[in-house]
Structure 1
Amino acid sequence: MHKNKITQALILGVGLSLGLAGCGDKPEEKVKTDTKPASESKEVKLAKVQELVRGNGTEVASLDPQKTEGVPESHVIRDLLEGLVNQDAAGKTIPGVAERWETADNKTFTFYLRKDAKWSNGDPVTAHDFVYSFQRAVDPLTASPYSWYLEMSTMINASDIISGKKDKSALGVKAIDDYTFEVKLESAVPYFVMMTGHTTLKPVHKATVEKYGDKWTKPENFVGNGAFVVNKWVVNERLELVRNENYWDNDKTILNKVTFLPIENQVAEMNRFLSGELDITYEVPNEHFKRLKKEQADSLAIKGNLCTYYYNFNTHKPPFNDVRVRKAISYAIDRNIISNAILGQGQKPAYFLTPEIITGFSPELPEYGKLTQDERNKKAKELLEAAGYNESNPLKFSLLYNTSENHKKIAVAIGSMWKKTLGVEVTLENQEWKTYLETKKQGNFEAARAGWCGDYNEASTFTSLMEGKNTTGGIHYKSAEYDELTAKAVQATSEAERQKYYYAQEALLAKDMPLAPIYQYVTTRLVNPHVGGYAVNNAEDKLYSKDMYIIAE
């Protein structure tokens, strides 16, 4: 679950990003912020009612970490389950269930778990829980949409287990004892610890899962190890979480309740925020951005994000099995209009899948990105005519997108560009989130809107999306040349060597055009100034409700 080199987040008037240092959970307590030097720190008075309401964009497809793939799900699961590591407000990897870790060769990693970590039912969280959960992620019976993630990490035997050649017990994970968890990789992956913060690698409670099956996430059955537990879930209305009193760091959790609202219409979400029903929105309506910037400057929060917005093509079905058609459609998108006129919040036109905000990522712009839009349009016409499409035989196709007014506005604008420049007739098709994900997974589309957000701050989190074995997000690109570059990048012995292969992959994507990058994201939302602890500098937008609190007004 994208940008100009926005390495620093911008927040307009929301005030300080307030990290908590040893604060308790009692109303009226004063807490000291720790984002500034001690000499500049200030005390904040807490509100009597510590309840937060967050917009979440859509109804979550699931709360099972091994069965999800979307950003809305991750936002909730991050509050319910805790993995080996977390992130701080600046996006730095910090201890979660693992107090510390070590590796001598970047192939064998040993995690030492905290002995005070408990499940919400009081059971201890142990290394055996992580063995069970990691194995569950690669087990074909689980059908995890993110099983490839463990394969990409080169975890021993992950590939053979996923393909059914070996039993899940052969995965390179082991509980050395109750509180020592070992992971073995086939190749050295220096950023592996960072990868373990991903949703799919969060633990689940074995006894609960085995007792209730797919119903283990229902409020009456739920057992988690995060700062909150599921209390009430009314589908398409609200998902309420309450404090987990057994969480190891509960004394520093301030909020008593967090509610996620699945609001797909951004105008409706904005209005509920303005009426005081919401504390944090998921997005803002594009057409209201300028007004909000003027009238709600103290609430408008904008920050860089590791995400790219793109349209992907089904390369195995006409008309997009022809690279000329794919390139023509991509070239005819005026990315400057989308980024600057329709959005205008700091988004940057994208010509790469990997956003340039990624640490150390700075490839050469592909040739089509160096052209003017008029030059791209001319090439697009030539390509489409060469593919056999013209006024008497116009190109027709459908564009799938998940229900969202913002996605619809962008699709209408781009459809107009295609019509004006190429005479293309496009049919827009929207589906609700869960159906949309399944449609793309099955390959039942011609072209589709998509967005990808990095799972960690390294280019492979984007380049791996296009591997042939990876169908997450509905990608069906099959390129032996691309997969070979992926293998070489994994085996690279230096960061510089890995970057060389990443750049080669981006060049190949520009040549084959299985997708059309459109813009690099910023995250823009409304945040009530009374919300403390909102992470303004976390590029992956990993927001932990346990770090937030409500300030007395």
Structure 2
Amino acid sequence: MRKSTFSLAALFIVLLLALTGCFGGDDSSSGTTEKAGGSKKGEETKGSSGSKKVLRLNNNEEPGSLHPGLAQGTHDSWILEHAFEGLTKKTPEGEIVDGMAEKWELADDGVTWTFHLKDDIKWSNGDPVTAEDFEFAWKYALSPEAAADYAYQLYYIKGGEKYNNAEEGADVQTLADAVGIKVEDEKTLVVTLEQPTPYFLDLTSFYTYYPVNKKVQEENPEWAEEAKTYVSNGPFKLVEWEHKEGMKLAKNEHYYDQDKIHLDEVDFVIIDDENTAWQMYQSGQLDLAYPLPQDVQGQLGEQNDPEFHKDKDLAVYYYNINTKKKPFNNAKIRKAFSMAIDRKVIVENVAQGGQKPAYSVVPPGIDDAQGDFQENTGALFKEDFEEAKKLLAEGLKEEGLEEIPPIDILYNTNEGHKRVAEAVQEMWRKNLGVEVTLQNVEFQVKLDREKAGDFEISRGGWVGDYVDPMTFVDLWLTDGPFNDANWSNPDYDEFVKFARTSLDQEERMQKMHDAEKILMDEMPIIPIYFYTTPYALKSNVTGVYTPINSYPQFKYADIE
């Protein structure tokens, strides 16, 4: 088992804080010595008349990619959601409204969308944003050479999947030309879908659907790797990027709606340890801290601290099980491991952020044909330690084994993930007699190992890309790009693909319920809990809001 370590940048910050006396001699990481509301406010850059308004916060990982077509994680999307804008965007209340497009129409055929771009939209370098930039960006993400993990989100577009899966020797250009994305003129984009898609308009606000400046990428394919070459079209622009240390966003003077943007600058530090971030928040060096240490979440919640926010999140915390590695090819063994976890103990004593134990995959907050999808699903399995032992014994006998060999849980460096893994480790030891070791690695390393199948059990988490059960159930389609469990079931595939194309809301919802039942019966993943979004925010910062499927948004934030 590798030990959890700070990054060098985080270690430097800790030492600097200690030398300057910011910790005040107390163990502030425990949350017992000072309330969030009692910390000192920074005064040097904000609040007073004539000074810059600078919001300071932390991104807990170095972005894997800040190219909209290549990004795949929340450590990427938090920056992208503020540096870019799609055809549509969402209000703080979750309503889909005009973004780069001022209006749109859906033809009577149910598959042809026409988007009309605004006249006054520009890139951060002053270039006009055109319909061709959208066509270029979407076809780039679909191109086989890009190898984009999120290309499948563009499969709803006619010919998208065929182009993305072009075989060697195929006429790639012909396939690209056949994709249903056409530019009628500089301000008009026509998109033809494979079939009617009820949530397509929602998808156009998602980062894979953001535009890319065609001229910039053709001149420099590596434009998204450094701040000095970075070009975006959203309310903020990237002006500094010290890799693995920090990033700085500045207000984009070319943004069409800049009058609604109050912040001059947003400064991120990149810190993978939430205790360090919390200490910086307490000492006044951060205005927003997320994620928070788990014990701090519990303490602030008990105190009803006014700077503590606990919002809903359309997300599930789970463990992947590599079904290609024996003995986890056996569903009984997978179910035994799931049934041997006490989720109530984890959410109340470990996570402590108001999370809800998960006995299914799709989180609450999505409308069913009637009511809430998750509430209608109910519990698809239960915790039963005796039954878990029985299933484990039966599964081992079927695999010709006497016992489970020692196994590893892989998780990305984070104190919260470590504590959950330690709790699960002890539960499996106590309830199943299985010895478990823990491995922590950087987030990108974890993602890479999952893609390579180099794990037995790994921590997973998924935030919905749009507000529909499909954003969860299509993850485990056979050969799906995020099917890290390497699981396959033809009935599951059939139900999900049917639900993708049906316009009958009641029928498609039922198919997704059926698919979820198959998933939980075979248990290639182990749901642990449904997330919340607990964060700390200084009382002089206003206008921050949390969409149900995103990190806290600061587009319209202000500092008093």
TM normalised by structure 2 equals 0.86
Q: Which residue does the alignment assign to 1:147? A: 151
1:56-455 mapped onto 2 (5 Å cutoff): 56-104=59-107, 105-151=109-155, 154-164=156-166, 167-294=175-302, 297-360=305-368, 361=373, 362-369=375-382, 373=383, 376-388=384-396, 393-455=403-465
Whether the aligned pair in 1 keeps the contact of 2:421 and 2:438 (CA below 8 Å) is: yes
- Which shows bigger deviation, 502-511 or 486-495? 486-495
Letter in 2 for 1:452: W
Distance 1:164 1:358, change over 3 A: same
Whether the aligned pair in 1 keeps the contact of 2:133 and 2:213 (CA below 8 Å) is: yes
- Post-superposition offset of 1:294: 5.0
Distance in 2 (CA, whole Å) between partners of 1:47 and 1:336 is 51
- Post-superposition offset of 1:100: 1.4
Whether the aligned pair in 2 keeps the contact of 1:136 and 1:168 (CA below 8 Å) is: no
Letter in 2 for 1:457: V
Cα deviations by residue, 1:41-99 (Å, 9 ceiling, x for unpaired):
xxxx9883311112222111111111111011100011111111111111221111011
- Post-superposition offset of 1:256: 0.9
Q: Which residue does the alignment assign to 1:548? A: 557
Q: How many residues align?
A: 504
Distance in 2 (CA, whole Å) between partners of 1:261 and 1:133 is 29
Distance in 1 (CA, whole Å) between partners of 2:227 and 2:430 is 52
Cα deviations by residue, 1:366-391 (Å, 9 ceiling, x for unpaired):
4523xxx4xx1111101111122799
1:518-537 mapped onto 2 (5 Å cutoff): 518-536=528-546
- Post-superposition offset of 1:168: 2.1
Q: Does 1:502 align with 2:512?
A: yes
Q: Does 1:492 align with 2:505?
A: no
Distance in 2 (CA, whole Å) between partners of 1:214 and 1:124 is 21
- Where 1:102 maps in the other structure, the secondary structure is strand
- Post-superposition offset of 1:176: 1.3
Whether the aligned pair in 2 keeps the contact of 1:106 and 1:190 (CA below 8 Å) is: no
- Where 1:521 maps in the other structure, the secondary structure is strand
- Where 2:288 maps in the other structure, the secondary structure is coil
- Post-superposition offset of 1:417: 0.3
Distance in 2 (CA, whole Å) between partners of 1:513 and 1:294 is 35
2:524 to 514, 517, 529: 514
Q: Which residue does the alignment assign to 2:53? A: 50
Distance in 2 (CA, whole Å) between partners of 1:330 and 1:194 is 33
Distance in 2 (CA, whole Å) between partners of 1:66 and 1:448 is 25
Distance 1:46 1:512, change over 3 A: farther
Whether the aligned pair in 2 keeps the contact of 1:399 and 1:428 (CA below 8 Å) is: yes
Q: Which residue does the alignment assign to 2:19? A: none
Whether the aligned pair in 2 keeps the contact of 1:46 and 1:549 (CA below 8 Å) is: no
Q: Which residue does the alignment assign to 1:8? A: none
Letter in 2 for 1:365: G
Letter in 2 for 1:169: D
- Which shows bigger deviation, 214-223 or 133-142? 214-223
Letter in 2 for 1:197: S
Letter in 1 for 2:163: I
Distance in 2 (CA, whole Å) between partners of 1:341 and 1:216 is 41
Distance in 1 (CA, whole Å) between partners of 2:484 and 2:555 is 33
Q: Which has the higher contact order (CA 8 A, sep 6+)?
A: 1
Distance in 1 (CA, whole Å) between partners of 2:306 and 2:283 is 15
Distance in 2 (CA, whole Å) between partners of 1:242 and 1:428 is 40
Distance in 2 (CA, whole Å) between partners of 1:473 and 1:63 is 23
- Where 1:52 maps in the other structure, the secondary structure is strand
Distance in 1 (CA, whole Å) between partners of 2:164 and 2:85 is 24
Distance in 2 (CA, whole Å) between partners of 1:475 and 1:132 is 33
Letter in 1 for 2:451: K
- Post-superposition offset of 1:216: 3.7
Cα deviations by residue, 1:340-398 (Å, 9 ceiling, x for unpaired):
222232211101111022222143334523xxx4xx11111011111227996344211
User: RMSD of aligned C-alpha atoms?
Assistant: 2.1
- Where 1:326 maps in the other structure, the secondary structure is helix
Cα deviations by residue, 1:270-291 (Å, 9 ceiling, x for unpaired):
1110011111112111122233
Cα deviations by residue, 1:250-283 (Å, 9 ceiling, x for unpaired):
2221111111222211111111100111111121
- Where 2:256 maps in the other structure, the secondary structure is coil
Which stretches of structure 1, 4 residues or longer, exceed 6 Å deviation after superposition?
389-392
% identical aligned pairs: 34
Cα deviations by residue, 1:10-58 (Å, 9 ceiling, x for unpaired):
xx999xxxxxxxxxxxx98xxxxxxxxxxxxxxxx98833111122221
Letter in 2 for 1:550: I
Cα deviations by residue, 1:164-204 (Å, 9 ceiling, x for unpaired):
05532221111111111111111111221001111111111
Whether the aligned pair in 2 keeps the contact of 1:148 and 1:469 (CA below 8 Å) is: no
Whether the aligned pair in 2 keeps the contact of 1:306 and 1:521 (CA below 8 Å) is: yes
Cα deviations by residue, 1:432-475 (Å, 9 ceiling, x for unpaired):
01111111111111111000000111111111111113122734
1:539 to 539, 542, 548: 548
- Where 2:496 maps in the other structure, the secondary structure is helix
- Post-superposition offset of 1:306: 0.2
Query: For structure 1, which runs of at least 5 residues remain unmatched after alignment?
Result: 1-11, 15-26, 29-44
Distance in 1 (CA, whole Å) between partners of 2:515 and 2:329 is 20
Query: For structure 2, which runs of at least 5 residues remain unmatched after alignment?
Result: 1-34, 38-45
Letter in 2 for 1:384: L
